């Protein structure tokens, strides 16, 4: 499995590594716990993830900006088939998650 973030002149999400319908677990540095969901949109600048917040027949979503992921503010695991799981780890304070 390849890298989720590609560094060109600026970091972008690599749409060959993650796509709509992929399973994803993510935790932002400011969250107490992570959330699992389904990727509903991939652009070079942002991932959109739909998840069940645990109340009734409701779904919600969150966005992962590539700039925050590249800075190491997110822990992200994703998979197309649960056989291979890609991962980027949250950076320690002051470090970058760069490739």
40-72: per-residue pLDDT in tens? 999 999 999 999 999 999 999 999 999 999 999
Rounded to whole angstroms, how far apart are CA atoms 67 and 5?
Answer: 10
Find out if CATH 2.160.20 is the number for domain 5-87. no
pLDDT tier at 3 (50, 70, 90 boundaries)?
confident
Across the strands, what pairs with 35? 26
Write out pLDDT tens, residues 65-94. 999 999 999 999 999 999 999 999 999 874
For residues 43 and 61, what is the distance between their CA atoms, to the nearest angstrom? 15
CA–CA distance, 90 with 59 (Å, rounded to integer): 26
CA angle 88, 14, 80 (to 5 degrees): 70
Question: Where along the chain do its domains lie?
Answer: 5-87
3-state secondary structure of 40: strand
């Amino acid at each position: 499995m390849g890298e989720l973030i590609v560094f060109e002149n600026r970091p972008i999400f690599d749409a060959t590594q993650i796509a709509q319908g992929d399973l994803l677990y993510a935790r932002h540095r400011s969250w107490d716990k992570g959330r699992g969901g389904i990727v509903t949109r991939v652009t070079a600048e942002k991932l959109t993830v739909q998840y069940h917040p645990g109340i009734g027949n409701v779904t919600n979503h969150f966005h992962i900006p590539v700039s925050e992921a590249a800075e190491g503010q997110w822990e992200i695991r994703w998979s197309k088939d649960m056989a291979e799981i890609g991962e980027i780890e949250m950076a320690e304070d002051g470090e970058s998650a760069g490739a």
